[in-house]
């Protein structure tokens, strides 16, 4: 089983020792991105993975590629061109002080400036079973949007399973009208089988009016011939935080139990959930088991540093078996 992800690879700079940017000059650098996080997790679950992206042709790009290999992701399909990567700073949170993310420029990156004509999608898809595309590509530049759609279309036509993650960010689309974005997403949706998103994506971005959750998902999946629609959400009960997931398939909503969160680093929680769901679908697990697994993967990932989950299946099963009460493994 080989999974290919297409998307932006970014540098993440985490301020050391839970300090804030103004307080500390020590950073911990990691190589991340929605595709990276997803493939890292899938690779640790035992699948072959590779990423289709563009990295700068300089020591930064080489460093990023080394990091991807370390996460278990093949770097054979990476294109080296240009000089820049998108990056962001992370200040970890504590209690009521939220984790804070500040982005540097993403639009001038090697990835954002790569024309769709310079990709060899056919070659990239050879031997691939599943393709994952992140919605961010629809927001960055005309070039990334065009490449993402082209790849999705081709993969769809080649009968690959196409996964898509809404990942809609208002802040990245201040210059685009609602209609523009809606149209882009609609085109993408016509090619995909498995979708990660939220109710809000359907109502706010795609303008669905339906208020009943089940009917809403039904209508959405019918309209675009989606096989699976899944998502995660966080809830607050008695000052405690919980994480839970749903999966819509064939007119039915499946739900995980809520699992308590004890957050060290929240970023990438959705990617961890998505890789868990994909794993369950690949393994043809019961849907609720799949969701339990996916939420557990995400809860563990949020209790860990960095975006990219590196848990093995057995780590997740251990967590589920002891309901998260174990505090020492030897």
CB of 138 to a copy of itself, least distance (A): 18
Q: Does 307 bind a copy of itself (CB under 8 A)?
A: no
Q: Does 314 bind a copy of itself (CB under 8 A)?
A: no
Q: Does 23 bind a copy of itself (CB under 8 A)?
A: yes
Classify residue 239 as exposed, middle or buried by CB count within 10 Å of its CB (0-12, 13-18, 19+): exposed
Q: Does 232 bind a copy of itself (CB under 8 A)?
A: no
Q: Does 126 bind a copy of itself (CB under 8 A)?
A: no
Q: Does 310 bind a copy of itself (CB under 8 A)?
A: yes
Q: Does 272 bind a copy of itself (CB under 8 A)?
A: no
In the bound state with a copy of itself, the residue whose beta carbon lies nearer, of 35 and 56, is 56
Q: Which positions from 37 through 66 interact with a copy of itself, judged by CB under 8 A?
A: 58-60, 62-63, 66
Give the integer Cα–Cα distance in Å for 67 and 82. 19
Q: Does 176 bind a copy of itself (CB under 8 A)?
A: no
> Do the beta carbons of residue 188 and residue 148 sit within 8 Å?
yes
Q: Does 93 bind a copy of itself (CB under 8 A)?
A: yes
b/e code 181-204 from CB counts within 10 Å (16+ = b) = beebbeebbebbbbbbbbbebbee
CB of 147 to a copy of itself, least distance (A): 20
Q: Does 89 bind a copy of itself (CB under 8 A)?
A: yes
Q: Does 241 bind a copy of itself (CB under 8 A)?
A: yes
| 42, 153, 249, 328: residue in contact with a copy of itself (rule CB under 8 A) | 328
Q: Does 327 bind a copy of itself (CB under 8 A)?
A: yes
Q: Which positions from 135 through 154 interact with a copy of itself, judged by CB under 8 A?
A: none
In the bound state with a copy of itself, the residue whose beta carbon lies nearer, of 184 and 266, is 266
What are the structure tokens assigned to 85, written together?
């990567």
Residues 6+ apart with CB under 8 A from 162: 130, 131, 133, 152, 155, 156, 191, 192, 193, 194
In the bound state with a copy of itself, the residue whose beta carbon lies nearer, of 184 and 259, is 259
Q: Which positions from 184 through 223 interact with a copy of itself, judged by CB under 8 A?
A: none
Q: Does 84 bind a copy of itself (CB under 8 A)?
A: yes
Tell me which stretch binds a copy of itself (CB under 8 A): 133-141, 176-184, 244-252, 255-263: 255-263
| 142, 305, 317, 321: residue in contact with a copy of itself (rule CB under 8 A) | 305
Q: Does 317 bind a copy of itself (CB under 8 A)?
A: no
Q: Does 26 bind a copy of itself (CB under 8 A)?
A: yes
Give the integer Cα–Cα distance in Å for 87 and 102. 9
SS (H, E, C) 161-218: EEEEECCCCHHHHCCCCHHHHHHHHHHHHCCCCEEECCHHHHHHHCCCCCCCHHHHHH
Residue 117 DSSP code: G
Q: Measuring CA to CA, which residue among 64, 196, 51, 67 is closest to residue 131?
A: 51
| 46, 70, 225, 317: residue in contact with a copy of itself (rule CB under 8 A) | 70
What are the structure tokens assigned to 159, written together?
């009968």
Tell me which stretch binds a copy of itself (CB under 8 A): 1-9, 87-95, 117-125, 143-151: 87-95
Residues 6+ apart with CB under 8 A from 57: 80, 81, 82, 83, 110
* Beta pairing partners, 94: 97
Give the integer Cα–Cα distance in Å for 271 and 251. 24
């Amino acid at each position: 089983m080989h999974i290919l992800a297409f998307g932006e690879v970014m540098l993440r700079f985490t301020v050391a020792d839970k300090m804030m940017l103004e307080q500390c000059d020590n950073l911990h650098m990691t190589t991340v991105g929605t595709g990276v996080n997803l493939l890292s997790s899938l690779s640790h679950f035992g699948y072959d993975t590779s990423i289709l992206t563009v990295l700068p042709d300089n020591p930064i790009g080489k460093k990023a590629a080394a990091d991807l290999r370390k996460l278990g992701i093949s770097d054979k399909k990476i294109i080296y061109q240009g000089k820049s990567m998108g990056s962001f700073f992370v200040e970890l949170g504590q209690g009521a002080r939220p984790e804070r993310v500040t982005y540097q420029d993403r639009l001038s990156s090697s990835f954002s400036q790569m024309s769709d004509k310079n990709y060899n999608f056919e070659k990239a898809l050879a031997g691939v079973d599943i393709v994952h595309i992140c919605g961010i590509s629809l927001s960055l530049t005309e070039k990334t949007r065009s490449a993402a759609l082209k790849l999705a279309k081709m993969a769809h036509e080649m009968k690959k399973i196409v996964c898509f993650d809404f990942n809609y960010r208002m802040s990245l689309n201040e210059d685009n009208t609602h209609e523009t974005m809606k149209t882009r997403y609609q085109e993408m949706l016509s090619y995909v089988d498995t979708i990660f998103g939220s109710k809000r994506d359907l109502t706010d971005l795609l303008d669905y009016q339906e208020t009943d959750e089940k009917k809403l998902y039904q209508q959405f999946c019918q309209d675009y011939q989606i096989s699976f629609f899944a998502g995660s959400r966080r809830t607050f009960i008695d000052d405690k935080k919980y994480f839970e997931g749903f999966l819509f398939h064939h007119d039915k909503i499946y739900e995980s139990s809520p699992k308590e969160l004890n957050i060290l680093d929240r970023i990438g929680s959705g990617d961890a959930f998505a890789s868990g769901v994909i794993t369950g679908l690949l393994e043809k697990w019961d849907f609720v088991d799949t969701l339990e697994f996916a939420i557990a993967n995400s809860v563990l990932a949020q209790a860990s540093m960095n975006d990219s989950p590196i848990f093995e299946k057995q780590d997740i099963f251990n967590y589920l078996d002891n309901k998260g009460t174990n505090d020492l493994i030897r």
